[in-house]
Amino acid sequence: MSDVTTTPEAPETEVQTAKPLAWPLGLAGVVLVIAGSFLSWSYDGTILGDLSINLYPGSLQILTIIVALLALVLLLAEKGPLTKLGGWLDATLGLRALGIWLTLYMVLVLVAIATESDGLINVNPGGYISLVGAALILVSSRMLPLRQLRDMSEARLPGWFEILSIAVLMAAALFVAAFALGLQDAWSFVLCLVFIAAVVAGLFRTGSMTWVGHAAQRNKKVLTLSAFVVAFLFPFTQGGSDANMSIATQVLVFSATAMGLNIVVGLAGLLDLGYIAFLGSGAYVAATLSNSAFATIGWKPPFLVVVLVGACVAALAGLIIGSPTLRVSGDYLAIVTLGFGEIFRFSMFNLDGNNGPNLTNGPNGIPGIPDLELFGFNFGDEHNVAGIDLGRFSNYYFLLLILIGGVILVFSRLNNSRIGRGWVAIREDEKAAEAMGVNVFGLKLLAFAVGAFLAGLAGTVKAHQDGAVSPDQYIFLESAFLLAAIVLGGMGTIAGVLLGATILKLLPEKLRFFSEYRLLLFGLLLVLMMRFRPEGLVANRRRLLEFHEEDEALAEAVEAEHLEAEEQLVVEEAK
């Protein structure tokens, strides 16, 4: 690998001096964390995956060792053989992030042991040693100086190294996802989340993710291919577990639906609080046209026809609700769409043969929907591939993966098209867009129709995967979760919506330990996001500028400098 090269030199700034004990304290902290992880943490071997064996680290102890090794790399970049790398990485900020999260991790470990057993008396010395080590790393990071470093976006490495880095990150994401889903204990899952937060925070604070982001932009095709390869390989890491694959399929259905809503909310800026009705429209079409004994329509077309019919019915519902209501905006539009969602649900209740025609069997819904069978492949059968058993949910997972690939393709093409630019213009300033000749009403109606079409596609597959549909599945809370996934992940982005949908579908399933407090934790998460990262976990540049005043000031300053330079150029040309 060639050395990192760049055109501009690092800016000359006043370098603060580190306190003499900072570096030794950090090294001592790393040694204590690793040494403590090789010792027993808990007297009770039945909790947290058995942390009671000396010299044989459990899975949670291995995660601690990984964070400690990352801290060691940053210490060596600050003062040691990796100082050349330290000229690029913000080692101090990265070390602070690792110190904070590692200390929190160890505190939660002690709390978990005390909660699951009979108190702190069951915590063995190894746990306290690792906690002291984490605290020393945190103290050391506060004693190290902050330096102004080079811009990581200017770093250039060979193309093969960038591609290899993307592949390694994707493989690490696959491993972490498989490991996290395999954790049955709620406390172990929470600690795994803290570990992920520690690593991600450390990478962001060092500036490494800035380089990764630019490398990904330079290798978009490789990144996309790697993401789909990782997603395709995921079922092979679950050992035929139907429980985990059921969660995975729910995540994909939720993601595909959220991607459709992202067109309405993220691109066009229209607040829709009844979007779950479009998913329900597709699901009910698939159910009534299925071979279920409770289906009320005699026509049984092939599933590929059902998919198109369900999507078109959902799009038609979008046009019906959009035509009379899209001339209002803001809170009024939100109220109207909320009402539409409730009208859909009550309509499904009333189409029972008593209050209206018998189409949906009323509150009983349509159960007994058979599994799909396409081209002789039965999605309900178990299949063995490369010696690995793939169950029913794995089969639907692959189908949904193809579906969401198509949804992402449609979204990205529309986003980068003239229509997408029109939607963004409407979102930013509807009056200005209309004054510039944008067909505001037509584009709003198109956003509703396309978003509903994509939700209807997901609904047709969901009906067969669930095996039943009923009105209770399509309540307002589901629409709220869809909207929250977009806000949490990042409005108008693809990766952000996928990440937000994954978080909001995965966490409630894995945190059943907290019972009724799950919604409280969810609300707290949204409040924290609105306070510290209102643009979402994965935000585009426009929203970053919208939500950060200092960036806006910087953008205005840069624009002023450009205008001044242009004026000087005009004056010189005139002379």
Q: What is the pLDDT of residues 314-344, one digit of tens each?
A: 999 988 888 877 777 777 888 888 888 889 9
In a domain, 132, yes or no: yes
- Which band of pLDDT confidence, cut at 50, 70 and 90, is reported for residue 110? very high
Q: Three-state SS for 568?
A: helix
Q: What is the token pair recorded at 415?
A: 């986003």
State yes or no: pLDDT of 543 exceeds 70: no
Whether residue 265 is found in the same domain as residue 339: yes
Helix (H), strand (E) at residue 308:
helix 303-325
Whether residue 360 is found in the same domain as residue 490: yes
Q: What is the pLDDT of residue 13?
A: 40
Whether residue 372 is found in the same domain as residue 475: yes
Q: What are phi and psi of 158, to 5 degrees?
A: -55, 150
> Domain residues for 561?
540-575
Identify which of 529, 531, 551 has the alpha carbon closest to the alpha carbon of residue 541: 551
Q: What is the pLDDT of residue 435?
A: 87
CA distances from 403 to 254, 406, 456 (A): 12, 5, 11
**Last residue within a domain, chosen from 205, 233, 261:** 233
Give the model confidence (pLDDT) of 87-108 as tens digits: 777 888 889 999 999 999 999 9
Q: How far is Cα 183 from Cα 204, in angstroms, rounded to an integer?
A: 26
151, 88 contact by CB (below 8 A)? no
What's the structural domain count of the chain? 3
325, 337 contact by CB (below 8 A)? yes
Q: What is the pLDDT of residue 5?
A: 42
**Last residue within a domain, chosen from 486, 507, 528:** 507
Q: What are phi and psi of 151, to 5 degrees?
A: -80, 120
Give the model confidence (pLDDT) of 299-313 as tens digits: 888 889 999 999 999
- Whether the full predicted model's pTM is greater than 0.75, yes or no, is yes
Whether residue 395 is found in the same domain as residue 449: yes
Q: How far is Cα 85 from Cα 81, in angstroms, rounded to an integer?
A: 9
In a domain, 517, yes or no: no
Listed range (177-191, 255-269, 322-336, 516-530) with the worst mean pLDDT: 516-530
Whether residue 274 is found in the same domain as residue 387: yes
Within 8 A by CB and 6+ apart from 430, the residues are: 329, 440
Q: What is the token pair recorded at 519?
A: 């919604």
Whether residue 357 is found in the same domain as residue 397: yes
What is the average pLDDT value for the chain, to the nearest integer?
83
In a domain, 512, yes or no: no
Whether residue 209 is found in the same domain as residue 70: yes
Whether residue 463 is found in the same domain as residue 328: yes
State yes or no: pLDDT of 228 exceeds 90: no
CATH number at residue 371: 1.10.3470
Higher pLDDT, 223 or 282: 282
In a domain, 8, yes or no: no
Whether residue 249 is found in the same domain as residue 222: no
The residues with which 5 forms a beta bridge, in sequence order, are 156
Higher pLDDT, 458 or 18: 458
| Residue length of the chain | 575
The residues with which 385 forms a beta bridge, in sequence order, are 388
Higher pLDDT, 540 or 296: 296
- Which band of pLDDT confidence, cut at 50, 70 and 90, is reported for residue 166? confident
